[in-house]
Structure 1
Amino acid sequence: MNLLAKHFAGDEKGLMSALVNGYEIEKTPEDAVKEYFKKCEELRLKSTGTEYQIYLAKSTTIKTTLTFLGIKIEGVNA
């Protein structure tokens, strides 16, 4: 079962409306952090010099913040 069908399980009218009108499922905060972290890591690996240091700092800050908050996100710090 795809994500859209799972989201609208038991709500056929809502599912049909989403299919006809378009629907975008909002990212969870964890998914948003993971996506931003991956983007920083990709850009870091493509960069040199100052840009490399900036993206390294961003990635490190994300991991450190999650550690301080006691949050584990697979693909980031777990």
Structure 2
Amino acid sequence: MSEKVALPKEVAEVIEHLRSLPYYSDDKILEVTVDPADEWVGAKTDALNGVDTMTLASALVNGYTVEQTPHEKLRNYYEANDWLQDSEEMSSTERQRSLGCRQGVRKTLHILGIIVEGINDTTDAK
């Protein structure tokens, strides 16, 4: 079996939406992306426009994984350095490194003016 294809979240969402419709098989999804005759469907499948046809076909046949967005990757890195969780089991050096990583992420986001849910959004309790 071939490897799964990594797709952006928006593309995976369009595929899942179209698959949920009773009249959209995988070959119909490919057909619509190549020649979107129906304007409604064409507008709903905009996320598929930048995907190579062979990549999309491979994803439909072999399956796919959803790529993490840059925000999700950063949040995972940030959470992996959560020095508060197991602070009793961490050495002081590990604790300092972890704290430094988290502070660095927050400071960088502040400088760039970027808000990432779970890191520096207003609902973040940490």
Q: TM-score range by the shorter chain?
A: 0.7 to 0.9
Name the count of aligned residue pairs.
74
Tell me the residue number matched to 1:6. 13
- State the shift of 1:19 in Å: 6.4
With a CA cutoff of 8 Å and minimum separation of 6, indicate the structure with the bigger relative contact order.
2
Deviations 1:9-57 (A, max 9, x none): 336416996465121111110111111111111xx23223100000000
In structure 2, the gaps of 5 or more residues are 1-8, 20-24, 30-55, 122-126
Does residue 72 of structure 1 match 2:115? Answer: yes
Q: Percentage identity across aligned positions? A: 35
2:106 to 55, 59, 63: 63
Tell me the residue number matched to 1:49. 92
Q: Distance in 1 between matches of 2:78 and 2:69?
A: 14
Higher strand fraction: Structure 1 or Structure 2?
Answer: 2
**Contact 2:78-2:105 at 8 Å conserved across structures:** yes
Across the aligned residues of Structure 1 and Structure 2, the Cα RMSD in angstroms comes to: 2.7
Superposed structure 1 runs of 4+ greater than 6 Å apart: none
DSSP 3-state at the match of 1:24: strand
**Contact 2:12-2:66 at 8 Å conserved across structures:** no
DSSP 3-state at the match of 1:75: coil
Q: Distance in 2 between matches of 1:18 and 1:65?
A: 35
TM-score by length of 2: 0.49
Q: Based on CA coordinates, which of the two structures has the bigger radius of gyration?
A: 2
1:6 alignment partner AA: E
Q: Distance in 1 between matches of 2:109 and 2:68?
A: 18
TM-score by length of 1: 0.75
- State the shift of 1:65 in Å: 0.2
